């Protein structure tokens, strides 16, 4: 049935069938069915499970919309500002890490240790309890819930939520000011982040090492995706068969991807190029297992690529930070590196490849469009479709060709070569 003809009852029937399919998946794969207990494990991340999950979430969302109607929806949609304010306070005052993994803490002790008065700590915590973050099983005593404990245990996820609710939320709030002041300019000097913080995002991180370190940890966690490793693995396995040399990773951040890939490909070396702050973070993360095969090099991708004879060049989640004009420069700067490597050296672009509207399911499309708007707020940049990538590559050098596109998941991969 198309969504216009959906009724609450037909949607409820869909929900029942979709929930059964999810339970069948758990049973068929011998997995424990999720509960709200602290021991409950994360849902699977396989494409098959994600498609079942998406279908059920879409039906639940549609049912909720029909039942509450647009007026009530809009009220709670706009009130998310206050939900986020509570979350932000809880993160800034470290409530997620002060509350112990096991047992309870009194609100009084929580307030003392957080350095905030009892009244406001209690109100924030009780607000979050309405979202199943934390529990108050004994009046006045707080414990973790299955939702909040992940923010205690997973530091990278905590960093992701925190930097989003800190520097990015502030910038997002000023989007209108930024776009009204320069409605026809789109680059990182004319973006909401700069309007709010006075500097472009990377200059700001260079000037704010605490935030840069949090951002680097967030990147390491938020983008750790099995699907990504699957895609890169596929292409590097092919490359690694016949070249035993270095893979060059441009804008490689702290080098966490290279470190993981170095473990998967023990005969490959990796050169991670980035700005100072990210490389310092990388030196902290590197383990002895890969120390002799992952190297760091300070390099801006706007300058000509100095690395020669690479097995592959990889740029991951960088082009989305830059406007078209800058991406053309990045692609042009890569040419000397490709020309000084063996013919057929791939240039791998690992980023979201935006779908044309309406091709993906509604929730899957929303997820990548949210990231597209992050790029607008942070950089006045964008996520690009395959056709948009091709146009910029061709403008940079007409010899560029896209030979393969892997776009089975949210993070895609373009396999690009310089035609001989
Ligand atoms: C969104 S992060 C992606 C990091 C990493 N590639 C990953 O996938 O986790 C963008 C990276 O681009 C780097 N960057 C920004 N400007 C750069 C420049 N001019 N040259 C090289 N790297 C740069 C940033 O420091 C940051 O590490």
Q: Which residue has the tokens 């035993």?
A: 244
Is residue 255 within 8 Å of residue 285, measured between CB atoms?
Answer: yes
The predicted pLDDT at position 238 comes to: 55
Rounded distance from Cα 202 to ligand 1 centre (Å): 9
Query: In this structure, what token pair is assigned to residue 18?
Result: 């979709």
Closest residue CA from atom 20 of ligand 1? 300
Ligand 1 lined by 202 (C-beta under 6 Å) = yes
Residue nearest to atom 13 of ligand 1 (CA): 251
Report residue 46 CA to chain centroid gap: 17
Q: Is the CB of 274 under 6 A from ligand 1?
A: yes
d(CA 189, CA 174): 14
* Burial class of residue 69 in the structure, from the number of CB atoms within 10 Å of its CB (0-12 exposed, 13-18 middle, 19+ buried): exposed
Query: Ligand 1: which residue has its CA nearest to atom 22?
Result: 251
Say how many Å lie between the CA of residue 138 and the centre of ligand 1.
47
Measured in Å, residue 321 CA sits from the centre of ligand 1 at 8
How many helices (H) and strands (E) in the chain? 19, 10
Q: How far is the CA of 273 from the centre of ligand 1 (A)?
A: 9
State how far the Cα of 218 lies from the Cα of 110, in Å rounded to an integer. Answer: 26
Both tokens of 148, joined, read 């909040």
Nearest to 331 by CA among 344, 348, 309, 345: 348
* C-beta 286 within 6 A of ligand 1: no
Burial of 287 (0-12, 13-18, 19+ CB in 10 A): exposed
Structure tokens at 250: 């441009």
Q: Which atom of ligand 1 is nearest to the CA of 220?
A: 9
Q: Which of 144, 256, 299, 320 is catalytic?
A: 320
Known active-site residue 320: yes
Ligand 1: residue whose CA is nearest its atom 6: 252
| Nearest CA, atom 3, ligand 1 | 317
Tokens of 185: 């300019």
pLDDT in tens, 309-323: 898 999 998 999 999
> Can you tell me the distance from the alpha carbon of 391 to that of 388, in angstroms, rounded to the nearest whole number?
5
Mutational pocket test of ligand 1: of 227, 301, 318, the residue with most ligand atoms within 8 Å of the beta carbon: 318
Strand partners, 404: 415
Domain assignments of the chain as residue spans, ordered by start:
3-78, 80-151, 220-418
Centre of ligand 1 from the C-alpha of residue 174, in Å: 24
CATH topology of domain 80-151: Arc Repressor Mutant, subunit A (1.10.10)
Indicate the pTM of the whole model: 0.86
Q: Distance between CA 240 and CA 226 in Å, rounded?
A: 20
Q: Whole-angstrom Cα distance, residue 377 to residue 177?
A: 11
Among protein residues, the one whose CA lies closest to atom 18 of ligand 1: 300
Number of residues that make up the chain: 420
Walk along the chain (420 residues) and give the pLDDT tens digit of each residue. 456 778 999 999 999 999 999 999 999 999 999 999 999 989 998 989 999 999 999 999 999 999 999 999 999 999 999 999 999 999 999 999 999 999 999 999 999 999 999 999 999 999 999 999 999 999 999 999 999 999 999 999 999 999 999 999 999 999 999 999 999 887 778 899 999 999 999 899 989 999 999 998 888 776 554 445 556 666 666 555 444 456 667 877 778 888 888 888 888 899 999 887 778 878 888 889 999 999 999 999 999 999 988 989 999 989 999 999 999 999 999 999 999 999 999 999 999 999 999 999 999 999 999 999 999 999 989 999 999 999 999 999 999 999 999 886 678 899 999 998
What would the two tokens of residue 166 be? 């800190």
Q: What is the pLDDT of residue 49?
A: 95
- The confidence score (pLDDT) of residue 184 equals 87
H or E, element range at 52: helix 47-78
Ligand 1 pocket test, candidate residues 207, 250, 251, most atoms within 8 A of CB: 251
pLDDT at residue 216, as a whole number: 86
- Assess whether the C-beta atom of 321 lies below 6 angstroms from ligand 1: yes
Beta carbons within 8 Å of 136's beta carbon, 6+ residues apart:
125, 126, 129, 142, 143
Give me the pLDDT at residue 70, please: 97
- 220-418, CATH topology level: Rossmann fold (3.40.50)
ipTM: 0.98
Write down the pLDDT at residue 265: 87
Q: How far is the CA of 318 from the centre of ligand 1 (A)?
A: 5
Ligand 1 centroid from CA 251, angstroms:
4
Whether the CB-CB separation of 126 and 132 falls below 8 Å is answered with no
Alpha carbons 218 and 338: distance in angstroms, whole number: 31
**Nearest-angstrom CA–CA distance, 236 and 69:** 50
Any bridge partners for residue 312, and if so which? 247
- 249-302 pLDDT per residue, tens: 787 777 888 888 888 888 889 999 988 777 887 888 888 999 999 999 999 999
What pLDDT is attached to residue 258? 87
Reported as type and span, the H/E element at residue 298 is strand 294-298
C-beta separation of 219 from 201 below 8 A? no
Domains 80-151 and 220-418 share a fold: no
301 CB near ligand 1 (under 6 Å)? yes
Nearest CA to ligand 1 atom 14: 251
């Amino acid at each position: 049935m198309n969504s216009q003809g959906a009724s609450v009852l037909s949607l409820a029937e869909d929900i029942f069938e979709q929930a059964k399919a999810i339970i069948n998946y758990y049973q068929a794969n011998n997995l424990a069915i999720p509960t709200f207990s602290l021991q409950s494990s994360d849902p699977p991340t396989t494409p098959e499970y994600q498609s079942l999950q998406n279908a059920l979430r879409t039906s639940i969302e549609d049912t909720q919309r029909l039942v509450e109607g647009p007026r009530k929806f809009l009220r709670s949609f706009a009130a998310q500002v206050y939900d986020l304010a509570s979350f932000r306070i809880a993160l800034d005052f470290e409530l997620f890490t002060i509350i112990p993994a096991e047992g309870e803490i009194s609100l009084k002790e929580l307030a003392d240790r957080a350095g905030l008065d009892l009244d406001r700590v209690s109100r924030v915590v009780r607000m979050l309890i309405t979202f199943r973050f934390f529990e108050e099983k004994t009046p006045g005593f707080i414990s973790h819930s299955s939702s909040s404990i992940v923010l205690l245990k997973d530091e990278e996820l905590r960093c992701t939520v925190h930097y989003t609710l800190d520097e990015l939320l502030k910038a997002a709030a000023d989007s209108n000011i930024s776009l009204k002041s320069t409605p026809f300019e789109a680059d990182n000097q004319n973006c909401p982040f700069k309007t709010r913080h006075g500097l472009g995002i990377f200059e700001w991180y260079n000037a704010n090492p605490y935030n840069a370190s949090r951002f680097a940890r967030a990147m390491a966690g938020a983008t750790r995706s099995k699907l990504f490793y699957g895609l890169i693995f596929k292409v590097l396995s092919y490359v690694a068969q016949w070249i035993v040399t270095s893979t060059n990773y441009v804008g490689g951040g702290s080098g966490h991807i290279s470190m993981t890939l170095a473990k998967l490909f023990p005969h490959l070396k990796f050169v991670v190029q980035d700005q100072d702050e990210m490389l310092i973070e990388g030196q902290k993360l590197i383990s002895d297992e890969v120390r002799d095969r992952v190297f760091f090099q300070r390099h801006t991708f706007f300058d000509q690529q100095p690395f020669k004879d690479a097995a592959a060049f990889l740029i991951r989640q960088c082009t989305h930070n830059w406007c078209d004009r800058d991406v053309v420069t990045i692609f042009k700067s890569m040419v000397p590196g490709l020309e000084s490597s063996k013919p057929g050296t791939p240039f791998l672009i690992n980023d979201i490849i935006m779908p044309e509207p309406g091709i993906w399911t509604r929730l899957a499309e929303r997820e990548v469009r949210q990231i597209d708007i992050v790029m607008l707020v942070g950089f006045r940049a964008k996520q690009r479709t395959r056709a948009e990538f091709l146009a910029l590559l061709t403008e940079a050098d007409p010899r560029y060709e896209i030979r393969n596109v892997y776009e089975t998941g949210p993070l895609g991969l373009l396999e690009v070569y310089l035609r001989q």
